[in-house]
């Protein structure tokens, strides 16, 4: 079995690496996992850097890499797209709004109207418009079907009232895709509809939530009699759950987490005072092995998708393994580096401007976001192992 990439894929990987070396500011410090988290590094001009890189990625067609050509994409393989995502994550690059390019765009291609595709796909591909997700609520996280945000029909509009939380990138987004209950008598996944919502609409309040690292990584979004035209419904009214499941299926693969672990290993290799210590070397060796296993699990997901093979429980396996690996690697790094690694970026003695401390704190969210580890194990048990429900 040959696990090697093609010559063209290796050339593409090098092209992405060269681009990032040339375009990112000198001394760029990727304090948070920017590829999946969709945020700008918290420097004074971080948001401007994010927009600039997004535009340049769009000019190269990399934001729409796997999209069909009829929608302005390059019709490249998912393996190619994973190469791009891996390099973006490894370098900690801004500019990649995954929820727009990877999740919403292909969903619109399947369920969107001609007008919705024309209005939204081109700005997403160009890196000119940014999106966030409006799914989770204070009482509806892993159990998303219990959400309470309501959308009441009013002639050719819907009036939305409710609250969403843990909305990544909402403070910088132009639009939000939203799941709300349009049938007040419905329960669970029935009677939900999928909306596209301009965040500049009257009645919307976005309030940042500071994460464990003390940074405004997430936001709450409050909807107070927000009027949304019916033309912004994706798919049929009341069938939003089906649209949502399609969108979430494009979230498959967790290559960013293994890429960040490889990034961590490279940084740990530069600690000259420690690399001759036997425990240090053994820990790095184990971390490298585990990272390669995760990398192969994820590229297998990409290959399966290219072959038209269902990936649901395999993707759950890759997500579970990759995020647990990420968290364990962060803990190992803190143990190896000792007290100095716990200093944050405000302390002049902090290694790499506090990068290790930030990496550790952010790692806790990896096993929660996009489905907790417990949810992933349940998917594997029910769909992969075919175990009976309790």
Active site (catalytic) residues: 251
| Beta carbons of 356 and 340 less than 8 angstroms apart | no
Specify the residue for token string 């939530």: 209
Three-state SS string over the chain comes to CCCCCCHHHHHHHHHHHHHHHHHCCCCCCCCCCHHHHCCCCCCCCHHHHHHHHHHHHHHCCCCCCCCCHHHCCCCCCHHHHHHHHHHHHHHCCCCCCHHHHHHHHHHHHHHCCHHHHHHHHHHHHCCCCCEEEECCECCECCCHHHCCCEEEEECCEEEEEEEECCCCCHHHCCEEEEEEECCCCCCCCCCEEEEEEECCCCCEEEEEECCCCCCCCEEEEEEEEEEEEHHHEECCCCEHHHHHHHHHHCCCCCHHHHHHHHHHHHHHHCCCCCCCCHHHHHHHHHHHHHHHHHHHHHHHHHHHHHCCCCCHHHHHHHHHHHHHHHHHHHHHHHHHHHHHHHCCCCCCCCHHHHHHHHHHHHHHHHCCCCCCHHHHHHHHHHHHCCCCCC
Helix crossing, 278-306 with 255-269: angle to 10°? 150
C-alpha 149: how far from its chain's center? 23
């Amino acid at each position: 079995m040959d696990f090697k990439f093609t010559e063209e894929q290796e050339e593409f990987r090098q092209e992405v690496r060269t681009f990032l070396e040339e375009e990112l500011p000198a001394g760029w410090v990727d304090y948070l996992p920017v590829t999946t988290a969709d945020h700008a590094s918290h420097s004074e001009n971080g948001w401007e850097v994010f927009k600039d890189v997004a535009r340049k990625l769009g000019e190269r067609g990399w934001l729409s890499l796997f999209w069909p050509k009829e929608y302005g994409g390059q019709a490249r393989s998912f393996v190619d797209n994973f190469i791009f995502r891996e390099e973006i994550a490894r370098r900690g690059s801004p500019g990649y709004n995954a929820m727009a390019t990877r999740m919403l765009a292909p969903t619109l291609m399947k369920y969107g109207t001609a007008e919705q595709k024309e209005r939204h796909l081109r700005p997403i591909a160009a890196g000119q418009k940014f999106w966030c997700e409006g799914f989770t609520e204070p009482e509806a996280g892993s159990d998303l079907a219990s959400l309470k945000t309501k959308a009441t029909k009013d002639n050719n509009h819907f009036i939305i009232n409710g609250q969403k939380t843990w909305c990544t990138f909402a403070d910088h987004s132009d639009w939000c895709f939203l799941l709300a209950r349009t049938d007040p008598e419905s329960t669970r996944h029935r009677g939900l509809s999928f909306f596209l919502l301009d965040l500049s609409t009257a009645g919307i309040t976005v309030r940042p939530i500071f994460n464990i690292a003390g940074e405004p990584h997430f936001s709450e979004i409050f909807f107070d009699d927000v009027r949304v035209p019916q033309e912004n419904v994706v798919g049929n009214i009341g069938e939003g759950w089906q649209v949502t499941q399609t969108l979430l299926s494009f979230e498959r693969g967790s290559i960013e987490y293994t890429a960040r672990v490889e990034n961590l290993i490279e940084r740990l290799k530069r600690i000259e005072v420690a690399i001759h210590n036997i425990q240090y070397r053994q820990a790095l060796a184990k971390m490298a092995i585990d990272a390669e296993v995760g990398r192969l699990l994820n590229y297998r997901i990409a290959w399966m998708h290219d072959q038209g093979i269902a990936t649901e429980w395999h993707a759950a396996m890759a997500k579970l393994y990759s995020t647990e690996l990420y968290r364990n690697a962060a803990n190992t790094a803190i143990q190896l580096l000792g007290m100095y690694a716990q200093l944050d970026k405000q302390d002049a003695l902090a290694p790499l401007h506090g990068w290790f401390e930030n990496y550790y704190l952010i790692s806790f969210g990896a096993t929660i976001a996009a489905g907790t580890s417990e949810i992933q194990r349940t998917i594997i048990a029910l769909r992969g192992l075919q175990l009976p429900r309790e």
